[in-house]
Structure 1
């Protein structure tokens, strides 16, 4: 009799470990990628308001992930509430169908069958509107609400059509289901509809993230005095054109290597090897000053004018 090889000795347990780790790592990787993307979209919109390409700041992956909760808060709360409402409605419909079938009263299902027809018509109309907006992009692409309403129409329309098939399955008998389109074609259509829902939700969330970043930038611009106050000394005159920034020539001395001092600047953000400074009062002619973190400048951070 041939002995059964020991699973541990042969390494037979490795596929199980690999599968277990894969079920953990894959969702974490996808989640991290989504958080990074939405954090990047929000940060890009935020610093673009101040004339900065966020790629020049030098933020890392962790920085963008840490910035993602702010733009994702409103979409996540909305999706959770909508998901809870739709799940409650679906469970109610299932109970109603089961009760009607158990009691042998097919007429009780007539309102639900009408609901299938309504969902079909509404889904086609809404999805058609979203597709029409896609093709109308050259004409109305500058409309501020385009990037929100277009993906929402696509997602809602595709979702209604996908749920219409689910309702037909719950209402119809097995024989009726066999007379539908071929199973393969039907599955392909449903997969494409769910993919369209996912794309629409992703697009709409990215739009909200961009709006959130823009809103953060406007709020910062209204309260620039809340940013850290900076005193900047340089070796050469900067010829700043932003109004309100004070320039003073420092007294000459043999040990003095810095000759100009600039006040009324605020620290917007610190990058990998540079700082980004803005004037402490907003003006349409303001510009963001990029200062390298090296020996060419001297930086002082001033205390807040608030006695302890």
Structure 2
């Protein structure tokens, strides 16, 4: 039991990290920022993975739990002969269904473009096909030795894991684009940002305010903050649109100061 829990916990952590990592890539590529410049930490990536995969994992877990409950109910309610008859009839059905799912997923893998709308289903179908085929295989063959049996289960576990990572990769791409689009639409409701700098940055909307001490003479209003991570500020203009507007990446230093105010607040003069 400890080994099973440890293996599944490791797999779940890997899926969460992989999803968060791919979502980060897709989200910031939408704003034309390469993810390697942000220095995202492991907790940030895992948190993004939990945020995106929490509901799908709950739904899949509930479905699996329901199937296992039905199997358990039938196992204890049916007689031994009726249970064996059910297994005997279910074996060829599982084999045919598994082979059909496997053929479909291979076809999608060779030409995935027409099936883009079926997000994550090819990977889940592949994982389910492996489970059905291994069930039929174990029912039709004699019990294997301990070493061979362990090898079979390891291969099956690896193939199911491959299917799950395939599904996560598809779903992460869709979620990353959707989150980026929603963020773009919600930019007007985010707090307004005025950037103060001791040096000239040549950003649009620059206001030069000479000061006797020479500190923070340059102001850049009309900005929105997307993220601060890895010592970097990711800023976009208010009303940013993907086709033409730029995204600004600035280091977090003592020469830069950000002032936040409610959205729509006019920038103060010098």
TM-score band by shorter chain is 0.7 to 0.9
Who is 2:46 aligned against? 65
**How far apart are the structure 2 equivalents of 1:25 and 1:151?**
23
- Is residue 158 of structure 1 aligned with residue 158 of structure 2? no
What's the CA shift string for 1:214-272, capped at 9, x where partnerless? 222111111102333211234325254xxxxxx14324454345454221101110122
Cα distance 1:238–1:122, how it changes in 2: closer, same or farther (>3 A)?
Answer: same
Who is 1:132 aligned against? 107
What's the CA shift string for 1:110-169, capped at 9, x where partnerless? 4542221111111112112223333x1xx4458524762331221121111122345x38
Who is 1:116 aligned against? 91
Q: How many residues align?
A: 261
How does 1:52-201 map onto structure 2 within 5 Å? 52-95=33-76, 99-101=79-81, 110=85, 112-134=87-109, 136=110, 139-140=111-112, 144-145=116-117, 148-165=120-137, 168=139, 180=142, 183=145, 188-201=151-164
Who is 2:268 aligned against? none
- Is residue 236 of structure 1 aligned with residue 200 of structure 2? yes
Larger mean CA deviation between 258-267 and 145-154 belongs to 145-154
- Is residue 272 of structure 1 aligned with residue 240 of structure 2? no
Root-mean-square deviation (CA, aligned residues, Å) is: 3.4
**How far apart are the structure 2 equivalents of 1:214 and 1:119?**
36
Q: Is the 8 A contact 1:162 1:194 kept in 2?
A: no
Who is 1:293 aligned against? 252
Larger radius of gyration: 1
Cα distance 1:32–1:204, how it changes in 2: closer, same or farther (>3 A)?
Answer: closer
Who is 1:202 aligned against? 165
Q: Is the 8 A contact 1:75 1:205 kept in 2?
A: no
**How far apart are the structure 1 equivalents of 2:4 and 2:160?**
24
State the TM-score, normalizing by the size of structure 1: 0.71
**How far apart are the structure 1 equivalents of 2:155 and 2:230?**
43
**How far apart are the structure 2 equivalents of 1:33 and 1:117?**
34
